[in-house]
Chain A
Amino acid sequence: METLSALLYLVASVCFIMALRGLSSPETSRQGNLYGMVGMTIAILTTLALPIVQSYWMIVLGIAIGGGIGYVIAKKIEMTALPQLVAAFHSLVGLAAVFVALSAFYSPEAYGIGVPGAIAKGSLVEMALGTAIGAITFTGSIVAFAKLQGLVTGKPLVFPFQHHLNAALGVLTILLILWLVQSNSSAALWLIVGVSLALGFLLILPIGGADMPVVISMLNSYSGWAAAGIGFTLQNNLLIITGALVGSSGAILSYIMCKGMNRSIFNVILGGFGGESAAAAAGRAGGGERGQVKAGSPEDAAYIMKNAQSVIIVPGYGMAVAQAQHALREMADLLKKEGVDVKYAIHPVAGRMPGHMNVLLAEANVPYDEVFELEDINRDFGTADVAFVIGANDVTNPAAKTDPASPIYGMPILDVEKAKTVFFIKRGMAAGYAGVENELFFRPNTMMLFGDAKKVTEEVVKSME
C-alpha cells in the first residue's frame, strides 16, 4: 500500500513537470494544463485512499466549498484583474501551509513524526520553516493584493529604521525556531506565526506599485518553498518536488523581471523606488534641450497610420487600466485591411505581472504570432513607419541608454524613437512610474494623443472607417 501510494505520488509529480513543460509553446499549453489537473486528481485520490483518512464528510464539504468559490472566481474574473487574483491565490497557499503545520504540531501522530510534546527535532525545524514562509507569503500577498486592487496606495510606504526592524524580526524568527526545537513549546510556534505574519506585511509595504511583477513572482516562489517545507515535515516527496518546481519557477520569473528593469532583487526588496530621490533626478533630466510638445488629433494619427507600411504597437499598463485592448485590435484589423503590417512589441515588465500584456492581447483575439518580445522586435523599429505607444512610458525612455544619472539607466528599452513617427497615447504629461520625464515627448517626430487610451483608440478607429 505504502509503495503504491508513493508510486502514484511520483506519477503526480511527473504530471506537474509535464504541465510546466507544456507551457513552452501555446499549442502544447492546453494539454499541459490538463496534465496538471490529472496530477492533482491523482494526488488527492491517493491521499484519500491512505489508511489514516477515515472520515470523509469534512473533506468533501471542504472541497465543495473551496472548489465552488474557486470556480466562480475563475469564471468571473476580468483579465485586467489577473495580477490581484494571483496575489490573492498566493495568500491562500501561504495560509494553508500555516494551517497544515499547526495541525501537524498538535497531531504529530497522524503524520508519523512523534507524539504531542515530543516531536522529532528535525521535523520541528521543517515545520517551523514551512510555517514562517507560509505566514510571510500570506500577509505579503495580502499587501500585494491591496496595492494592485488600489485598496491602498501603490506608492512605496517607507519609514525610518524600516530595514532594521525587518532584520530584527528575521533574527527573532530564527531565535524562536531554536526555542521551539529546544522546548517543543506551542507558544514558540504561535509566536513564529505572529512574527512571520508581521514580517510579511512589513516586507511588501515599502515596495511600489510598478515593482509588483517582481513581488508577485517572488511570492509565487515563496508559496512553493512553503509547500516544500511542509513536504519535509510530512516526508512526502510529491510536496517537495512540486514545491521545488514552483519555487524555482517564481525565482526565475523574479530574475527575468529584475533584469527587465536593470535592478537587483535586493534593490527591489528593499523598496522605496519611485519615491523622492527619483523625483529629484527627474527634475534634472527634463531640464536640458526641451523642445515643443506636439499634440495631435486622432484623425491625424488615423491618416498617418493608414498610409504607413508598418506599424508597431507598444502596449503598457495604461492600456490594461483603460481596457483598450479590444479597440486596439479593431484598429489593427482596419490597418491590416489597408495592407499595413502590424506587430506588437512587449517589454518584459509591461503590466503588473509577467506576461500580463500577452494575455490581454490574446483576450482581444490578437493572434500570438503577431506579438513579439523585446529582443525579437527591437531592430524592427528602425524600419517601422509608426510606433504606436499606448499606455507605456518608462520602457521607451531613451534616458535609460544615454543618461547615467537617470534612475532607469541601464534598463533595456524598446527603441521606439527609431521609428519615423511615434505616437504616445497618454492621459497627460505626467512622468512615468519611475518619476522620470521622457525626452521623447519633445522630439519633432513624436505626436502626443492626449486622453483615455480606450477613447482615443476608438476615435482613431472611427476616423479610419
Chain B
Amino acid sequence: MDQTQLSNRIVELKAQLSAASQQIDALAAQAAALGHPAAAEAASHGSFFITGLTVLVLACFVGYYVVWRVTPALHSPLMAVTNAVSSVIIVGALIAAGPAGFGFSKIMGFLAVILASVNIFGGFLVTQRMLSMFKKKGK
C-alpha cells in the first residue's frame, strides 16, 4: 500500500512541477518583453549611475587611504604611475577603434589608442627607471 501512495504522490508532484515551470516560462517571456531595447537601456542606465557612483565614492576612500601611506620620497614615481594608470582610458579607445568598418568614431578611437599607449609605455617605464634608482645604504 505504501508504494502506491508514494507513486501517487510522485505523480502529483510532477504535475505541480510542470505547472510551476510553465509559470516560469510565462514570467520569462514577460521579462523579455519588458526588456525591449529602449526600456532596458533606460532602466540599466539609471541603475548603473547609482552603482557607478557607489563604486566611485568607495574607490575615492581607498585612494585616500592608500595614497596617504605613500612615502613622500616616492611622490614623483606616484605621479608617474598614476599617470600611466589613468591611461586605462584606452579601454574606451579600443571599443571605439574596434568595430568593423570605418568612420569618424574609429579615427577618434585610433588617435586615442595612440595617445593612451604613449602614456602607458612611457609612464610605466619612467616609473620603473625612477624606482630602480632608489637604493639603500651600502648596496
Residues of A within 8 A of B (CB): 12-13, 16-17, 19-21, 23-26, 29-30, 32-33, 36-37, 39-40, 43-44, 47-48, 50, 52-56, 58-59, 61-63, 65-71, 73-75, 77, 79, 82, 85-86, 89-90, 92-93, 95-97, 99-100, 102-104, 106-107, 110-114, 120, 122-123, 216-217, 220, 223-224, 226-228, 230-250, 252-253, 256, 346, 348, 353-356, 358-359, 362-363, 365, 367-371, 373
Given contacts A33-B81, A55-B98, whether A242 and B115 have CB atoms under 8 Å apart is: no
Most buried by A among B48, B78, B106: B78
Query: Which residues of B have CB within 8 Å of A96?
Result: 87, 89-90, 93, 111-112, 115-116, 119
A sample of 17 cross-chain residue pairs with beta-carbon separation below 8 angstroms, ordered by A number, consists of: A19-B81, A20-B70, A43-B91, A59-B98, A62-B114, A67-B117, A70-B117, A93-B86, A93-B89, A96-B116, A100-B109, A100-B112, A104-B96, A235-B44, A244-B55, A253-B67, A353-B76
Contact of B134 with A368 in the complex, beta carbons under 8 Å: yes
A110 to B99, CA, bound (A): 8
Q: Does B17 contact A (CB under 8 A)?
A: no
**B93 with A240: CB separation less than 8 A:** no
User: Which residue of chain A has its CB nearest to the CB of B90?
Assistant: A44
State how many angstroms separate the Cβ of A328 from the closest Cβ of chain B.
15
Residues of A within 8 A of B116 (CB): 66, 92-93, 96
Contact status B124-A107, CB under 8 Å: no
Question: Given A70-B119, A113-B45, are A100 and B125 also a contact pair (CB < 8 Å)?
Answer: no
Q: Bound complex: CA of A362 vs CA of B62, how far in Å?
A: 29
Interface residue? B75 (CB, 8 A): yes
A317 to chain B, nearest CB (A): 14
Contacts A58-B110, A63-B113, A100-B96 known; A75 to B56 CB distance under 8 Å? no
Q: Which residues of B contact A13 (CB under 8 A)?
A: 59
User: Within the complex, which residue of A238, A353, A362 is in contact with B135, where a contact is CB–CB below 8 Å?
Assistant: A362
- Nearest CB of chain B from residue A221's CB, rounded to whole Å: 9
Instruction: Write out the residue numbers on chain A whose beta carbons fall within 8 Å of the beta carbon of B91.
Output: 43-44, 47, 234, 236, 238-239
Q: Most B CB atoms within 10 A — which of A53, A63, A113, A368?
A: A63
Given known contacts A33-B128, A103-B104, A247-B60, what 12 new A-B pairs fall within 8 Å (CB)? A23-B81, A70-B121, A89-B122, A92-B118, A100-B96, A100-B109, A103-B105, A232-B49, A244-B63, A248-B64, A355-B77, A370-B137
**Quick one: which of B77, B94, B108 contacts A53, CB cutoff 8 A?**
B94
Do residues A217 and B79 form an inter-chain contact, with CB atoms below 8 A?
yes
Q: Mark B27-57, 1 if CB is under 8 A from A, else 0.
A: 0000000000000011011101101100111
Known: A33-B131, A47-B91, A96-B112. A52 touches B99 (CB 8 A): yes
Question: Is the pair A240, B95 in contact by a Cβ cutoff of 8 Å?
Answer: no
> Of B88, B105, B114, B132, which contacts A110 at CB under 8 A?
B105
Known contacts A220-B83, A252-B68, A106 near B105 by CB under 8 Å: yes
In the complex, which residue of chain B has the Cβ closest to the Cβ of A223? B86
Tell me if A358 and B79 are in contact (CB < 8 A): no
Contact B92–A70 (Cβ < 8 Å): no
Q: Is B74 an interface residue (CB 8 A)?
A: yes
CB-CB under 8 A for A238 and B108, given A245-B66, A248-B67 = no
| A250–B67 alpha-carbon span in the complex (Å) | 9
CB distance from A100 to the nearest CB of B (A): 4
One of B46, B99, B109, B135 near A99 (C-beta < 8 A): B109
Q: Which residues of A contact B60 (CB under 8 A)?
A: 244, 247-248
**Interchain CB contact under 8 A, A358 and B76:** yes
Interface residue from A111, A236, A245 paired with B63 (Cβ < 8 Å): A245
> Which residue on chain B has the smallest CB distance to residue A371?
B73
Partner of A40 from B62, B84, B99 at Cβ < 8 Å: B84
Residue of B nearest to A102 (CB): B108
Q: Which of A47, A89, A358 contacts B83 (CB 8 A)?
A: A89
Contacts of B79 in A (CB 8 A): 86, 216-217, 220, 249-250, 253, 353-355
Tell me if B128 and A93 are in contact (CB < 8 A). no
CB of B76 within 8 A of CB of A359, answer yes
Is B82's beta carbon under 8 Å from chain A?
A: yes
Complex interface: chain A residues within 8 A of B56 (CB): 228, 240-241, 243-244
* Residue from the set B85, B122, B130 with the largest chain A CB neighbour count within 10 Å: B85
- B77 engages A40 (CB within 8 Å): no
Residues from chain A with a CB closer than 8 A to the CB of B139 are 367
Is B26 an interface position by the 8 A CB rule? no
A115 CB to nearest B CB, Å: 9
Whether the pair A40, B88 counts as a contact (CB closer than 8 A) is yes
Contact A66/B114 with A106-B104, A248-B60 known, Cβ cut-off 8 Å: yes
Tell me the smallest distance from the CB of B123 to a CB of chain A, in Å. Answer: 6
Q: Is the CB of B88 within 8 A of A359?
A: no
Once bound together, how far apart are the Cα atoms of A63 and B127, in whole Å? 19
Q: What is the CB-to-nearest-CB distance from A201 to chain B, in angstroms, rounded to a whole number?
A: 19
Tell me the minimal C-beta distance from A248 to chain B in angstroms: 3
Chain B contacts for A235, CB-based, 8 A: 44-45, 48, 52
- List chain B residues, Cβ under 8 A from A20: 63, 66-67, 70, 78, 81-82
A66 touches B59 (CB 8 A): no
The verdict on A99 contacting B81 (CB below 8 Å), with A47-B94, A107-B103, A248-B67 known, is no
